[in-house]
Structure 1
């Protein structure tokens, strides 16, 4: 599961600690080609889909169906463009959401800080010359830690730009839900 560093910095999500019990609301982002993704958080898993309500027309003009996707120890709700019930295969990344009720609970068995090298590039289509930080492909690195820090202010200059910590990758043991009320 991926946690954005700013969700920890603004106290929306507690920093995960190896050995603690964590509870997190989940969102899921699909990835088209898992085999060619360099993201270590990408999963390819089986789930059960259940449409939970009537379809509606969304602001993008597409018909949507509220659907709960679940597996052993986890669940998340999405609004798909087709009604789906029964077994499905999901390809993508789970992210801890900064709002909502917990969808997953488990023991934190690994915490990694994900950093990426970025460089300032012109803002697309901006005649004013503004710039934005853009990730440099192939520069993602991970380091294991016992606990995620609360603050991330470690811009490190590199020959190509600067390296930033931008995410925390958490591995959860969903078979060990811990004692009720002991979530960190």
Structure 2
């Protein structure tokens, strides 16, 4: 988990001293909390960011290339967290493939600041960008949403009925699950 002054985003450890997250999570006083599965515990390590590098093609308008590398001041040393395996196959995921999204996002639709104390996950299905862009409807608060004109070719969409990533899950991983955690492959980063 990445944080700064009460703000939080997810992320994935891609090297012992590098976290992959979403560029819209950038903040100059960022730090990483690694190896802490329950926010009420003092497990794991808190490591300050040394350097934050958003994707050069990132824009705050519709979030294209919403990726960022956070280089940590020190390497994570504990053995209870594995470095994630990143996808190298451009044909994955396929439309209809089962994926898992993880994070500590908002658990109360009425209180945006109610983040989960435990790391949560939900299974979703990859959909085409065309179907994603055609998505529209009302959320739990009665607000109308549409993705028309917001989906770019560098984006990946996934859905599930009544489930998905939530506010506060940004930067967290979207993975194809393997037989065990070490076989998981990260195919995306939570953005919108």
TM-score scaled to structure 1, two decimals? 0.26
Structure with greater Cα Rg: 1
Structure whose residues are more often strand by fraction: 1
